């Protein structure tokens, strides 16, 4: 009788261990899938933000076409105004993009 009881106890603990491992594997798979999806989204956002060089290109074109003195152009570039405008435009774009995500996910 003790052999049967030890078999039942060992079987139950092994059964619970298998289910725990299966649930851990499912959690790992879902976590990896979520990480893969988020990596793809962040890569797309990064590529899009890197493609945004509009403020610096616009300022360079405006500096070439206008009659600004070279000292003023030097000061504006020294203070980093084109890079700052690029940073602000990227931040606004990311913020506007993130505003749409919850609505598109929650509304079916």
Decide if 93 contacts 47 (C-beta within 8 A): no
Q: Is the pTM of this model over 0.75?
A: no
Q: Which is nearest to 51 in space by CA: 103, 89, 99? A: 89
Locate tokens 């979520």: which residue? Answer: 34
Dihedral of CA atoms 55, 56, 58, 61 in degrees, nearest 10, equals 170
Q: How confident is the model at residue 33 (pLDDT cuts 50, 70, 90)?
A: very high
Instruction: Give residue 69's region: left, alpha or beta (phi > 0; psi -120 to 50).
Output: beta
Express each pLDDT in 51-71 by its tens digit.
776 666 666 666 565 667 888
């Amino acid at each position: 009788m003790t052999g049967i009881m030890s078999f039942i106890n060992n079987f139950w603990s092994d059964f619970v261990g298998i289910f725990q491992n299966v649930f851990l594997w499912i959690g790992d798979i879902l976590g990896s899938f979520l990480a893969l999806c988020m990596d793809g989204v962040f890569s797309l956002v990064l590529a899009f933000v890197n493609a945004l060089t509009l403020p610096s290109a616009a300022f360079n074109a405006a500096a070439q076409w206008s009659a600004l003195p070279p000292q003023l152009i030097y000061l504006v570039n020294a203070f980093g105004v084109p890079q700052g405008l690029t940073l602000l435009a990227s931040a606004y774009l990311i913020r506007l993009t993130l505003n749409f995500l919850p609505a598109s996910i929650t509304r079916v």
